[in-house]
Structure 1
């Protein structure tokens, strides 16, 4: 039986002199391209104006990237970034938090809905959920290629030895004993949302169910993840779990009120 998987993948896909193309950046870009294509096709199928998808793409990419960056800096490493505010702009050095991206995306799409579609923001989110799922899957694949955000040790045969990770080497490869860890990036990457049984007719239902599934799973998976920052050591619920709770509650609210919600504002 397979004991573990030795994960020894170079996070850099291509080097051209001093220029590096990393898997992580590529997957972010690919996720947004696929999401745009999915949203554009759906709007066209439903007969909405051609420029809706173009405007939506700008709103989504700006809010998601800015929100994810600010979320990481504010929620996870404010002690450092508060003292070095210009470092917040150096996004190429890494540090993006999905919760920050989601919060910013909700705010941006509320504004977009009022100015462009004149429909409920949850009507819009119901149509974006499949695309959002694709972006999330791409980002988690990028985390896997970076050998980051992995879980605690496991004896299961699909445990990964992240040999390129300094964190894994320091924690789980000592005294000649290598411990395989949960590939939590793959667990989170496996979540996808889709339309079935006409559920899109109940405004907000698909979004609510998706929030409940995704962030409920995130809440549970955090129990087998390593702390992302030192402040999380010893916490009963870590930062990611506390940030997941309001989104889970929002999902429950959307589910129970979906039958009463109107399409327009």
Structure 2
């Protein structure tokens, strides 16, 4: 067994490697699960409701994220090597695809258990932001999802730790640490939702829709800096989806605020 055999790997046991990418994703998912479980408990629901949900949404989310990535990278990566489709440890999870399949599963699951979808969404979605923030560090260790070229002085001007600066030297140049921009943006958004939005409105669904507005804004601007965007013609697919998230999120907030009458649930 070898600990820290290289920058990408936490531990190597024979021919089996545990990569930081997987560790970051799992740690983020665990945080989202524990926070959601805590919030569900405060709402008076049995803990096993979220325990059962967690496994299903993880599996469907990862499958959706992988399918989304493979679809848009088929010609470049997988048409000639379809066996690599299952190699998710090398990276290649598009979070927006995972959100779509995760939402579909969530609607099914909470309807089955007769739980208001917006109540569940408010309890779960803020934690998803932390899961995404952790996942972006997985991109860092895989040296992917980086931005355009910048100078060394630019990175030093951001007062980043040297290990980040050094490992943003990729393919012969320094690059924007877009993984870090999005990670920090998601953490700030998480704090805004649970500390500000939650206090402003107690209506069920406001926190859920605020996630889509905030994440859409963060992702739209960060995506514009990246060099590896999934493309739809000349358009960055993630920016298109981000705009859809923003519009749907604003529409949802307006609907909840002005139209939907429900019992307000306080945590």
Answer yes or no: same fold by TM over 0.5. Answer: yes
Question: Which residue does 1:68 correspond to in 2?
Answer: 65
Q: Secondary structure at the match of 2:224?
A: helix
Question: Which residue does 2:40 correspond to in 1?
Answer: 43
Measure the CA separation in 1 of the matches of 2:112 and 2:75: 33
Whether 1:180 and 2:174 are equivalent positions in the alignment is: yes
Correspondence for 2:136 among 134, 137, 140: 140
Correspondence for 1:255 among 245, 253, 256: 253
Correspondence for 1:244 among 242, 245, 250: 242
Measure the CA separation in 2 of the matches of 1:22 and 1:79: 24
Whether 1:52 and 2:53 are equivalent positions in the alignment is: no
State the 1:144 CA deviation.
Answer: 1.2
Question: Which residue does 1:201 correspond to in 2?
Answer: 202
- Distance change >3 Å, CA 39–CA 79, structure 1 → 2: same
Q: Which moved more, 1:195-204 or 1:13-22?
A: 195-204
- Distance change >3 Å, CA 115–CA 145, structure 1 → 2: same
Measure the CA separation in 1 of the matches of 2:200 and 2:49: 23
For the aligned residue pairs, the C-alpha RMSD in angstroms reads 2.6
- Distance change >3 Å, CA 111–CA 200, structure 1 → 2: farther
State the 1:122 CA deviation.
Answer: 2.5
Give the conservation status (yes or no) of the 8 Å contact 2:126–2:208. Answer: no
Q: Which moved more, 1:63-72 or 1:207-216?
A: 207-216
Correspondence for 2:121 among 109, 112, 125: 125
- Distance change >3 Å, CA 44–CA 182, structure 1 → 2: same
TM (norm. structure 1) is 0.81
Give the conservation status (yes or no) of the 8 Å contact 1:59–1:108. Answer: yes
Structure 1 gaps, min length 5: 1-8, 174-178
Measure the CA separation in 1 of the matches of 2:201 and 2:84: 42
Question: Which residue does 2:3 correspond to in 1?
Answer: none
Measure the CA separation in 2 of the matches of 1:11 and 1:187: 20
Question: Which residue does 1:100 correspond to in 2?
Answer: 97
- Distance change >3 Å, CA 35–CA 163, structure 1 → 2: closer
Measure the CA separation in 2 of the matches of 1:75 and 1:143: 18
Measure the CA separation in 2 of the matches of 1:189 and 1:93: 20
Larger helix proportion of the pair:
2
State the 1:113 CA deviation.
Answer: 1.7
Q: Secondary structure at the match of 1:206?
A: helix
State the 1:136 CA deviation.
Answer: 0.3
TM (norm. structure 2) is 0.80
Measure the CA separation in 2 of the matches of 1:116 and 1:146: 39
May I ask how many residue pairs the two structures share in their alignment?
Answer: 242
